Structure 1
Amino acid sequence: MDEYSRIVASVAAELTPKVASVKAGRSSGSAVIFTADGFLLTNAHVVGSARTGSAAFSDGTSAEFAVVGADPLSDLAVLRALEPTPPPVTLGDSDTLVVGQLVVAVGTPLGLTGSVTAGVVSGLGRSLPARSGSAVRLIEDVIQTDAALNPGNSGGALADAGGHVVGINTAVAGTGLGLAVPINSTTRSIVAALMRDGRVRRAYLGLVTTPAPLPPAIRERVGQASALRVVEVVAGSPAARAGLRAGDLVLSAGRKPVGDAQGLQRLMFAEAIGRPLPVTVLRNGALVDVIAEPTELTPYSTL
């Protein structure tokens, strides 16, 4: 057996027993056991509004589960098996991935338990829109892979050559184009919040923005190459109360440079709710500092 085949076969042998086929209501997909006491990780869209379901494993055993919490804005959900499960996977760190690196996908496409495909990391830093009610957010740093994914792979494992799970497969965007939610520090925080509270609390400013490059003279002045142009400020929102305006270029928030939507989103978690948030913008060539106080994002928030 050649080296490539040995690696794929080794990862498959390691992960196949630890990836379940799950059914929740009318929906089905895959889930990954990630703790020794029976917690599983899957996609929020796999469980939908269901509160219970069943998981089947490659060794022929099965277990009922309860949905501990789901977060549509990251497309992640945590399940708790009510019966014994196989041992957990080892979670890796998607921040260490490089384009061209070998990855292996394990899941249950079309209900076929223990299906394995392999490919490479085709791209990093992709963004995937997610929605909860009227609230829309980008899932950041999504992993793009050419490992074949099909319906039912959602919620399954994307692993590196060492068998460490670095992503949760979430979407098929086209032939040879699969996407996975990364396993990184942000995802670990989301999973911890779901296990602890059953939901993820996020902060809300009320801005519609788009990335914008800064002119060379401004780049030298502020020490960064891009900012977020404010397209719209929602009436009555924290951003509106702070005095932010359409046309402003957001340079920093919380005293951290902001060059893209992800830079701002990383600040919009529970710890920012109700706390003063310094925001620096470029307005008509002048630097303007304002203080915003984010509120909690709800499914009915306009933006």
Structure 2
Amino acid sequence: MSDNSFAPPGSSPARPSSDPYAPPQDGGAVMTGQQDTLPLPTQPAQPAQQSQPPLTPGPDGVMYTGEPAHDASGYEPPAAPATTPDAKPPVGRVRKRTVALIACGSLVLGVGGGIAGAWAYDEFMPSGASIQVASGEPVERAEGSVAAVAAAVMPSVVSIEAAVGGVGASTGSGFIIREDGYILTNNHVIEGADEITVVMSDGSEMAADLVGATSDYDLAVLQIDVDGLTPVTFADSSEVVVGDETIAVGSPLGLESTVTTGIVSALHRPVTAGGAEGAPAFIDAIQTDAAINPGNSGGPLLNANGEVIGVNSAVAALPGATQSTGAGSVGLGFAIPSNQAQRTAEQIIETGEATYPVIGVQLDERYTGEGVKVVDDASGVVDGGPADVAGIEPGDIITAIDGRPITQTDELVVAIRAMAPGDEVVFTVQSGGGERDVPITLTSSDNVDFETGDQAPDGQE
């Protein structure tokens, strides 16, 4: 297990980043503050522990999550009672041969949160530790067991309540990343809130300040005025493989301190998700079958050693299931990899904002052939940008990145976003009937001006 390497906090205010890869207005997923779905044949929701029927495609062959359909005409779901704040989950889309919309799971404060917390505390005890439980009898749990991992991590996981104008708007999860009060969560959990409350594992509540957030990665950092906290330990998400055990901890449906288990089901799932106030986030997601429900958003996805491998951020739902009818886990959850989350959190703490890597091209969403096509006009390649310097030209087709085949625009975008400025990657490019490998060094998004199409001087926005 490695030490937490977060840098000292910065003081700059948060600033949303632009998204050069955002799909054109006439195509791609449109991200709003509510979940976008299309009506499909209904199917009764099943308990999370039972076997679920497979997702079924809609008329356009796309598998959809289950929130009420709405469009740009201004549809808003019915307001929830003040005592049971409703979710404002953004939407997501998985596009990698099999396409599916993914709804970001957050919010929905349910009754009886203390029941789950008490159960988890009683049930999951650390190895070799004698703990007084409700019965008054001490218990011990074996080293390396899920119970031991859960007990060790539980003090580092929090529930988050976000309010607008004094009215509860959403709930989600988060986890402590530094002992001096820094907490990581999803941007969509706190987006638009003017009051944020953190509920600790022992039930104590305290106000939190927003250090900074980025809609580009759907991440946010909060800080509470407490020292001596127990931070999580981050694992290297590049070493995660399909089949690894996973443990999710959070507050699904407002039930704090809930623990679920599963495995890593897949890697490199291109998921787009975002809220009403920011551009879509592009996530090179880890897919897991651990039960993740609305309210788990922002909580940690752990490996068998209790180290964070991801931030739980999105969940797929059965066709016809809605928040009001109790949409729940169908074993398709998605997490932001820990390497990306940790790098972004460090940047937010240092500067109050986060950038992302780019190559300086615009991608053609209308192209349906092999690979991904660079827009075939003057706007396709930014003058002086990394792609221009490397020899990429308008109309070129990118078929692979570091030998990994690319078939969809979102795949290329999330693959680049998962890296860091300064990284060198090799693109396989087709043009003029030939194919070549093109090494490109990624640069930061604040070094490229996609509005004017010019390379910006270092340090200029």
- Report the alpha carbon displacement of residue 30 of structure 1 after superposing the two structures with TM: 0.4
Task: Say if 1:234 and 1:93 are closer, same or farther in 2 by CA, change over 3 A.
Answer: farther
Task: Say if 1:278 and 1:21 are closer, same or farther in 2 by CA, change over 3 A.
Answer: closer
Task: Say if 1:212 and 1:78 are closer, same or farther in 2 by CA, change over 3 A.
Answer: farther
- Report the alpha carbon displacement of residue 278 of structure 1 after superposing the two structures with TM: 11
Unaligned runs of 5+ in 2: 1-138, 164-168, 318-329, 407-411, 454-461
Q: How many Å separate the matches in 2 of 1:293 and 1:5?
A: 43
| 2:139 is aligned with 1:31 | no
Q: How many Å separate the matches in 1 of 2:342 and 2:399?
A: 27
The answer on whether the counterparts of 1:135 and 1:301 sit within 8 Å (CA) in structure 2 is no
- Report the alpha carbon displacement of residue 13 of structure 1 after superposing the two structures with TM: 0.4
Q: How many Å separate the matches in 1 of 2:234 and 2:440?
A: 38
| 2:397 is aligned with 1:249 | yes
Q: 1:180 aligns with which of 306, 313, 335?
A: 335
| 2:68 is aligned with 1:68 | no
For CA contacts below 8 A with separation 6 or more, give which structure has more relative contact order. 2
Structure 2 counterpart of 1:16: 154
- Write 1 or 2 for the structure with the bigger share of strand: 1
Q: Secondary structure of the equivalent of 2:145?
A: helix
The answer on whether the counterparts of 2:301 and 2:310 sit within 8 Å (CA) in structure 1 is yes
The answer on whether the counterparts of 2:250 and 2:257 sit within 8 Å (CA) in structure 1 is yes
Q: Which amino acid aligns with 1:285?
A: G
| 2:282 is aligned with 1:138 | yes
Structure 2 counterpart of 1:282: 430
Q: Secondary structure of the equivalent of 2:335?
A: strand
Task: Say if 1:65 and 1:171 are closer, same or farther in 2 by CA, change over 3 A.
Answer: same
What is the correspondence of 1:82-231 to structure 2 with a 5 Å cutoff? 82-84=225-227, 86-131=229-274, 135-136=279-280, 138-140=282-284, 142-174=285-317, 175-184=330-339, 186-202=340-356, 203=358, 204-208=360-364, 228-230=371-373
The answer on whether the counterparts of 2:142 and 2:148 sit within 8 Å (CA) in structure 1 is no
Task: Say if 1:90 and 1:208 are closer, same or farther in 2 by CA, change over 3 A.
Answer: same
- Report the alpha carbon displacement of residue 89 of structure 1 after superposing the two structures with TM: 1.3
Task: Say if 1:301 and 1:122 are closer, same or farther in 2 by CA, change over 3 A.
Answer: farther
Unaligned runs of 5+ in 1: 214-227
For each residue in 1:45-81, what CA deviation from the matched residue of structure 2 results, as whole angstroms up to 9, or x when unmatched?
1111235411011212222111111111211111111
Q: Secondary structure of the equivalent of 2:180?
A: coil
Structure 2 counterpart of 1:221: none
Task: Say if 1:206 and 1:104 are closer, same or farther in 2 by CA, change over 3 A.
Answer: same
Task: Say if 1:235 and 1:117 are closer, same or farther in 2 by CA, change over 3 A.
Answer: same
For each residue in 1:98-155, what CA deviation from the matched residue of structure 2 results, as whole angstroms up to 9, or x when unmatched?
2222211110112111111111111122111135778555311x11111111111101
Structure 2 counterpart of 1:59: 202
Q: Secondary structure of the equivalent of 2:243?
A: coil
Task: Say if 1:192 and 1:134 are closer, same or farther in 2 by CA, change over 3 A.
Answer: closer
Task: Say if 1:195 and 1:172 are closer, same or farther in 2 by CA, change over 3 A.
Answer: same
Q: Which amino acid aligns with 1:244?
A: E
- Report the alpha carbon displacement of residue 298 of structure 1 after superposing the two structures with TM: 8.3
- Report the alpha carbon displacement of residue 229 of structure 1 after superposing the two structures with TM: 3.0
- Report the alpha carbon displacement of residue 189 of structure 1 after superposing the two structures with TM: 2.1
Q: Which amino acid aligns with 2:155?
A: P
Task: Say if 1:298 and 1:43 are closer, same or farther in 2 by CA, change over 3 A.
Answer: farther
Q: How many Å separate the matches in 2 of 1:166 and 1:278?
A: 26
Q: Which amino acid aligns with 1:205?
A: V
Q: How many Å separate the matches in 2 of 1:148 and 1:263?
A: 26
Q: How many Å separate the matches in 2 of 1:180 and 1:74?
A: 11
Task: Say if 1:171 and 1:290 are closer, same or farther in 2 by CA, change over 3 A.
Answer: closer
Between 10-19 and 57-66, report the one with greater CA deviation. 57-66
Structure 2 counterpart of 1:225: none
- Kindly tell me the number of residue pairs found equivalent between the two proteins: 277
Q: Secondary structure of the equivalent of 2:316?
A: strand
The answer on whether the counterparts of 1:51 and 1:67 sit within 8 Å (CA) in structure 2 is no
Q: How many Å separate the matches in 2 of 1:123 and 1:73?
A: 22
